[in-house]
Amino acid sequence: MSEESPTTIEIPSTITVKAFAEKLEKPVPEIITALLKNGFLAGINETLDFETAALIADEFGFQTLEEKIDEKRVDILNPEQLAEILKQEKEKNENLQPRPPIVTILGHVDHGKTTLLDAIRKTKVVETESGGITQNITAYQVEIKNRLITFVDTPGHQAFSQMRARGEGLADISVLIVAADDGVKSQTKEVIKNLQKDKAPMIVAINKIDKPGANVEKVKGQLADAGILLEKRGGKIPVVEISAKNKINIEELLETILLLADILKITADWKRKALGVILESHLDQRKGALATAIIKTGTLNEGDSIIAGDSTGTVRQILDFNKKRIIKAIPGSPITVVGLDNVCKSGSVLQVEESRRAARRKTRRSRLEMAGNLLNEKVSVKRINESMEEKDLPKLNIILKADAEGSLEAIKQILETIPRDEALLNILSEKVGNITETDVQLAMASGALIHGFKVMVPSSISQAAKKNGVVIKISDVIYKMVDEIKEQLSDLLEPEIIRTDLGRMKVLAIFRTEKAKMIIGGKITQGGVTKDSLLEIKRDKEIIGKGKVTQLKHGPKNIDEGKEGMECGLTYIPKDGMVKIKEGDSLIFYLEKEEKRKIK
Ligand code: GDP
């Protein structure tokens, strides 16, 4: 073997098995086997951290370097890349100034998460003259000792945990809430496990201390058993005993958060272009697509060109969490952005671009890429999921778009109840937002129909769809949309054939026999016959042939219908090969009607 120096490759801080295999130019199964040998059970789409990837790369004779993210080289940042950039920013330590800490409250159900978020908001929220605390707030800020704290009601979105896994979460500090009368429960343990895995800074709030059954010491003991080392118990994790309901020690909890924030040195580069994370996005009838975001670093200004997920736009308005208009958003603030061309997924990164054109170019590129990926992904998923019985069934591919995650869920739940025994409904893609170019491209490539619920179709998209024969249906009532989908599925079904028996005839004479036609005479023994009946030939109790009647006569006269007891002559045309009728045969007359079947 020759003494070659090992090749050096750059690997990002996280990489999927598939992308890793491509980097090493090795088949995926080989990588999976090598991972298994080292004790990692990972599928093709699983993500490897840098350490694991480096270990395996070494086995294949590669040296590895951790790839730094160059923002200029990445089109659209994903949450992991954002986390990486924020980490790099801290390491560089230039232009950094403190920013408000971003805090989230986690814990077992019913331990008081919502009550605590409410209590903090009601006691401390900076209310504006527009007044009225808005319902369904996903994030808000409170002021204490002239400093701000941002609270986020974190949806359990995967993107947020992806960020966390890179050591830079959506939130800087997590408050683990445990009810003093209930103690550490399954979800408490789950939260602890995740926070510890990610080395996330936390504070414990022991809640409901007002309750008669409260036992704070017992809870602290349980926490110690679960690996949480509290202050004054040999550890460093701050703990505050509170009652969210009676608003006891809320102030103390907030001060503890500020103390921890100081220790953590939560900072941002206020001068750079803003980078944030989308918490929620929906369509507003008047304002168009709205997106609520938290600014992690940088300052967002009105007029900035932005990208959020696969949407782009120019910031037309920035609203603070009280829905009051502000002209710029500083790091750490929760805001709503008006001006995106479409809604985006929660967890998407909000990034500012040089110009609207650059933003558009980048999203266009990524939309195209996505359509391609989506297709590949769906094909492989389908292969695995499709059972043998389902393989031969007709299939309807659809692309679902809706105005909000909630609608999408509701629609999907109903669609799941559609029986799959005759035709299959295959949802190729489901997203919140208006119909986009990607949808049309995916529809073209897959023959799918696009169904939108309370969304819009920009006229350029509608034209492109028309030109390429892509069907887009928009509804604003869920059941109408579902009915339409059922109708389209029903169209795929073979019609049902309904047979009506008319009558019988005893064959008495054969007048003429041609290659594919006979003229015969007989007597109607039962029911009747029409001049367009279908017929079966019965001989010795067996059906030996089929055909149809094309002409019916009574004596020399053409008739439309013959009745029981009549003697008639008729022209018979065979079906499926000539079967000759003989004297003494019985003919059974019937009609067939095709009936469209419906999926219920
Ligand atoms: P979540 O599921 O964690 O959001 O819990 P909630 O905030 O909805 O609280 C669950 C129940 O516990 C509600 O009935 C609250 O009123 C009650 N609760 C919350 N905090 C306290 C508290 O400090 N003391 C008492 N007595 N009840 C509380």
Residue-wise over 503-522: b if at least 16 C-beta within 10 A, else e?
Answer: bbbebeebeeeeeeebbbbb
Centroid of ligand 1 to alpha carbon of 124 (angstroms): 19
Q: Domain residues for 574? A: 496-595
First to last CA, the chain: 68
Distances (CA, A) of 551 to 463, 499, 513, 576, 585: 52, 21, 15, 19, 19
Centroid of ligand 1 to alpha carbon of 115 (angstroms): 6
234 and 338 together in one domain: no
143 and 241 together in one domain: yes
Distances (CA, A) of 320 to 149, 308, 530: 14, 18, 79
User: How many whole angstroms from its chain centre is CA 68?
Assistant: 30
Evaluate: CB of 207 within 6 angstroms of ligand 1: yes
Q: Whose C-alpha lies nearest to ligand 1, atom 6?
A: 112
Evaluate: CB of 208 within 6 angstroms of ligand 1: yes
338 and 476 together in one domain: no
pLDDT band, very low/low/confident/very high, at 69 (cuts 50, 70, 90): low
Evaluate: CB of 113 within 6 angstroms of ligand 1: yes
**Which of 105-119, 270-284, 368-382, 520-534 bottoms out in mean pLDDT, i.e. has the lowest?**
368-382
Q: Does residue 195 form part of some domain? A: yes
Cα 69 from Cα 88, distance rounded (Å): 9
124 and 217 together in one domain: yes
Evaluate: CB of 245 within 6 angstroms of ligand 1: yes
pLDDT band, very low/low/confident/very high, at 385 (cuts 50, 70, 90): very low
410 and 538 together in one domain: no
Q: Does residue 296 form part of some domain? A: yes
Tell me the pairing of strands 7-11 and 62-66. Answer: parallel
388 and 505 together in one domain: no
Centroid of ligand 1 to alpha carbon of 207 (angstroms): 8
Domain boundary among 471, 490, 509: 490
346 and 384 together in one domain: no
Evaluate: CB of 169 within 6 angstroms of ligand 1: no
What digits encode the pLDDT tens for the residues 423-462? 889 898 888 889 988 888 888 877 889 999 999 999 999 9
The ligand 1 atom at the shortest distance from the C-alpha of residue 108 is 3
What digits encode the pLDDT tens for the residues 243-276? 999 999 999 999 999 999 999 999 999 999 999 9
CB within 8 Å of 104: residues ≥ 6 apart:
151, 152, 153, 154, 170, 171, 173, 174, 175
pLDDT band, very low/low/confident/very high, at 127 (cuts 50, 70, 90): very low
Cα 269 from Cα 97, distance rounded (Å): 6
The ligand 1 atom at the shortest distance from the C-alpha of residue 115 is 7
Evaluate: CB of 431 within 6 angstroms of ligand 1: no
486 and 507 together in one domain: no
Tell me the pairing of strands 7-11 and 561-563. Answer: unpaired
43 and 107 together in one domain: no
- CA-based max dimension of the chain: 115
For the question of whether the overall pTM of this predicted structure is more than 0.85, the answer is: no
Q: Does residue 87 form part of some domain? A: no
The Cβ of residue 330 has, within 10 Å, a number of other Cβ atoms equal to 18
Q: Does residue 88 form part of some domain? A: no
Ligand 1: which of 106, 109, 110 to mutate, most ligand atoms within 8 Å of CB?
Answer: 110
Evaluate: CB of 26 within 6 angstroms of ligand 1: no
Residue whose structure tokens are 């951290």: 49
Evaluate: CB of 115 within 6 angstroms of ligand 1: yes
Torsion of CA 110, 112, 117, 123, to 10 degrees: 140
Evaluate: CB of 211 within 6 angstroms of ligand 1: yes
Token representation of residue 288: 């168009």
434 and 507 together in one domain: no
Domain CATH code at residue 473: 3.40.50.10050
CB 318 within 8 A of CB 353: no
Domain CATH code at residue 577: 2.40.30.10
Q: Is the pLDDT of residue 373 over 70?
A: no
Cα 565 from Cα 589, distance rounded (Å): 15
pLDDT band, very low/low/confident/very high, at 380 (cuts 50, 70, 90): very low
247 and 160 together in one domain: yes
Distances (CA, A) of 589 to 194, 285, 293: 75, 62, 73
Please classify residue 72 by burial: count the beta carbons closer than 10 Å to its beta carbon, then call 0-12 exposed, 13-18 middle and 19+ buried.
Answer: exposed
pLDDT band, very low/low/confident/very high, at 79 (cuts 50, 70, 90): confident
Evaluate: CB of 109 within 6 angstroms of ligand 1: yes
Q: Whose C-alpha lies nearest to ligand 1, atom 22?
A: 208
Evaluate: CB of 105 within 6 angstroms of ligand 1: no
- Average pLDDT of the chain to the nearest whole number: 86
The Cβ of residue 477 has, within 10 Å, a number of other Cβ atoms equal to 10
Q: Does residue 80 form part of some domain? A: no
pLDDT band, very low/low/confident/very high, at 73 (cuts 50, 70, 90): low
Q: Does residue 503 form part of some domain? A: yes
Centroid of ligand 1 to alpha carbon of 201 (angstroms): 24
Q: Whose C-alpha lies nearest to ligand 1, atom 18?
A: 112
Q: Whose C-alpha lies nearest to ligand 1, atom 19?
A: 112
- Looking at the chain, the whole-number percentage of residues with pLDDT higher than 70 is 89
Q: Does residue 212 form part of some domain? A: yes
Evaluate: CB of 153 within 6 angstroms of ligand 1: no
> How many domains, the chain?
5
The ligand 1 atom at the shortest distance from the C-alpha of residue 107 is 3
Q: Does residue 76 form part of some domain? A: no
Evaluate: CB of 244 within 6 angstroms of ligand 1: yes
The ligand 1 atom at the shortest distance from the C-alpha of residue 118 is 7
230 and 329 together in one domain: no
For the ranges 29-43, 238-252, 393-407, 476-490, the maximum mean pLDDT occurs at 238-252
Nearest to 307 by CA among 355, 344, 348, 351: 351
